[in-house]
Chain A
Amino acid sequence: METETITIKDNHVNGISFPSDRIMLDLKDLKKVYPTPKGDYVVLEHLNLQILKEEFVTIIGHSGCGKTTMLSMIAGLNPISGGDIAVLGNPIQGPGPDRGVIFQAPSLMPWMTALQNVLLGVNRVFPHASKAQRKDIAKYYLHKVGLDGAFDKKANELSQGMQQRVGIARAFAIKPKVLLLDEPFGMLDSLTRGELQDILIEIWNKEKITAVMITHDVDEAIFLADRVVMMTSGPRAKIGDVLPIKFERPRTRKSVLEHEDYYKYRKHLIDFLEH
């Protein structure tokens, strides 16, 4: 396991860099300023974070500290005020399908069916594939998220949980280099949330797409992540601490909960948040 070589200390804040060929996403001295009527508001400053290929990183931090701001900057949907963001060494230029996003609200086009919603992206990303091939790709991912019977259901006829499943299928189907998730299960009840976590991790185990996921649920953060990144409270938020989670993959919820280190990790995160 590559994470085993990383200790909490040596990856701390502006610490040692990883070898560049292992880095998927590199945030360097990132800064974000929102102009407000009462003067500029510096949300993020001196934020440094490197995310490796095939890594699943979860981000926790207090509400309003700038997590969404950071993620939307990586997605290219929010302009950068300073520093830079690179994917595989190339600075990003606005949004693009190499960085798939799963938003907090499912954001499906309600006038389209589940299949059409997934196809919207697939058609864009695989323009040279035949129509049947593209349909197969979309159907494959809908199948993976357990929506076999709902291909032709209108998005607005699906429950929140089902809609978010389509959201997951849509994001994976465009085969992005990086998957960005902003509290994707925040609006769901705990039962549905658990189901979707399982689905997400199952697909992810297969595809190993570098993932950055914001969550406010400590257990979710531990269950899914290779590393949990903790952000300091704003203004001028940056990375406060990074906690590698050394559970084996594939993981099951049961094995994680029963692991002797689980409560150690959990305590570490809660201690950080309570300070």
Chain B
Amino acid sequence: MKQSVTVNKTQELKLAGAAKAALSKFKVKSPKFDLKTFLRKVIVPLASILLFIGLWHIGAKALFNIEADYKIQKALTDQGQAAANAMAACIASGDISCQPNTLPSPAQVWESFNTLIADHKVISADKLAFKEKTAALNEKRISEGKDPITYTGRPSFVDQIFTSLKTVFAGFLLAFFIAVPIGIIIGLSDTLRNAFNWLIQVFKPVSPVVWLLLVFMIVKTMTKDSNSDSAFIISFISVGLCAMWATLVNTAMGVSSVDKDYINVAKVLKLGPLQKVFKVILPSSLPLIFTGLRITLSVAWMVLIAIELLAQSPGLGSFVWEEFQNGANDSNSKIIVAMFIIGIIGFLLDRIMLTIQNMVSFNKNATA
């Protein structure tokens, strides 16, 4: 217990450091030290983080106790007092064979995080060694026109993160290249907008799972005799299709609701259709297009986890699912680690999009 407390402390300190770093970003306007702002922007968020970890710790402990009591009680009724005592001793000793399986404490999660990082280091070293070992051989194979030998070992947690990012990025690009052009076209024409409105309204609320199944039906057939990575293709297409609607709707709305004054200016100057679109309509709808893209990216990241999980394609989703099925003693804490990582990455992606959105937005006061 004592050990876990110290671990807890360092974790809090680290979190505090991260929070401070994150918060210092917001403090651009007044470089002068101001106690009130400091209190509001640093101390209060920090306190809320500590409170969160504290409550989590207490809650986890309570759940742990319930689970432990139940285990001891079960040993007592099944095998008698001696077994119950042994179980109690075993639990107290921290032996992994008899630990209650419940919500992990903050300390356990931190430990799992470190384990995952260590695991990643081992696997990376392995990979590097493999690469060096096969470098000469692969060169020869390539010159002979054969496929090089690739590393097929277990991916580390960090590898899974990058796989997920790759998938979400591919899905996002797909959404971008479908939704923006179509949004522009239907935004320009009232007739087309009315014609396609029902389609958008019907498909927008369809669950990611259904999209996945639909894409699966099509891609499975289309990739029948190619050895491409169909799990990746299926998941990124599904992600793209799920996530593109916000961009489609926002782009169409932005394009169709350009300020009448700008349109009048374009009319008076008799701008050609292309110039009108590229010099007036698109720039003026960029803020809305980016609002759509931002929603698209966050939706893409959110559904990605579920889709990876179902499509059995590698990534954070399948990591979570495998850990859940695995049921090892630290599986639960690894799942929680994944949860935080997913959340933090989602937050960062959103921040990036927000930054870009503010950069392209000409109406800075509205979004600041």
Contact = CB atoms under 8 A, between A and B. Distances in A.
A110 B265 CA distance: 13
B288 to A, nearest CB: 13
Contacts of A154: 362
A95 interface: yes
Given A103-B261, A105-B261, A120-B279, A110 B362 contact: yes
A121 B267 CA distance: 11
Contacts of B362: 110-111, 154, 156
A101 B268 contact: yes
B363 interface: yes
A224 B363 CA distance: 35
A77 interface: yes
Interface in A66-106: 75-77, 94-97, 99-101, 103, 105
A97 B268 contact: yes
A96 B270 contact: yes
Contact of B268 (A100, A110, A112): A100
B368 to A, nearest CB: 13
B280 interface: yes
Contact of A109 (B262, B267, B364): B262
Nearest to B286: A111
Contacts of A120: 265, 269, 271, 279
Nearest to A95: B267
A174 interface: yes
Contacts of A107: 259, 261-262, 264-265
Nearest to A110: B362
A99 B363 contact: no
Given A109-B283, A111-B284, A111-B362, A124 B269 contact: yes
A154 B364 CA distance: 11
Nearest to A117: B265
Identify which of A101, A103, A107, A121 gathers the most chain B CB atoms within 10 Å of its CB: A107
A7 B280 CA distance: 47
Contacts of A76: 267-268
B interface bracket (residues with beta carbon within 8 Å of A): 10 to 19
B283 A95 contact: no
A105 B264 CA distance: 12
B283 A111 contact: yes
Nearest to A96: B270
Nearest to A180: B268
B274 to A, nearest CB: 13
A234 to B, nearest CB: 22
A107 B260 CA distance: 9
Contact of A96 (B268, B284, B363, B364): B268
Interface string B235-278: 00000000000000000000000010110110111110001000
Contacts of A75: 264, 268
Contacts of A105: 261
B266 to A, nearest CB: 9
A104 B264 CA distance: 12
B277 to A, nearest CB: 13
Contact of A77 (B264, B271, B279, B363): B264
Interface string A122-162: 00110000000000000000000000000000101000000
A34 B119 CA distance: 75
Interface string B278-295: 011001101000000000
Given A109-B262, A111-B362, A121 B284 contact: no
B366 to A, nearest CB: 10
Nearest to A112: B283
A100 B265 CA distance: 9
A77 B280 contact: no
B284 A77 contact: no
A121 B264 CA distance: 13
A109 B264 contact: no
Identify which of B265, B279, B362, B364 gathers the most chain A CB atoms within 10 Å of its CB: B265
Contact of A97 (B261, B264, B270, B275): B270
Contacts of B363: 110, 156
B280 A95 contact: no
B264 A103 contact: yes
Contact of B269 (A110, A112, A174): A174
19 contacts: A77-B267, A95-B268, A96-B268, A96-B270, A97-B269, A100-B268, A101-B264, A101-B265, A103-B261, A103-B264, A105-B261, A107-B259, A107-B262, A107-B264, A109-B279, A111-B286, A124-B275, A154-B362, A156-B362
Given A103-B261, A174-B269, 16 more contacts: A76-B267, A76-B268, A77-B268, A94-B267, A97-B268, A101-B268, A103-B264, A107-B259, A107-B264, A109-B265, A109-B279, A109-B284, A111-B283, A124-B271, A154-B362, A156-B362
Interface of A: 75-77, 94-97, 99-101, 103, 105, 107, 109-112, 120-121, 124-125, 154, 156, 174
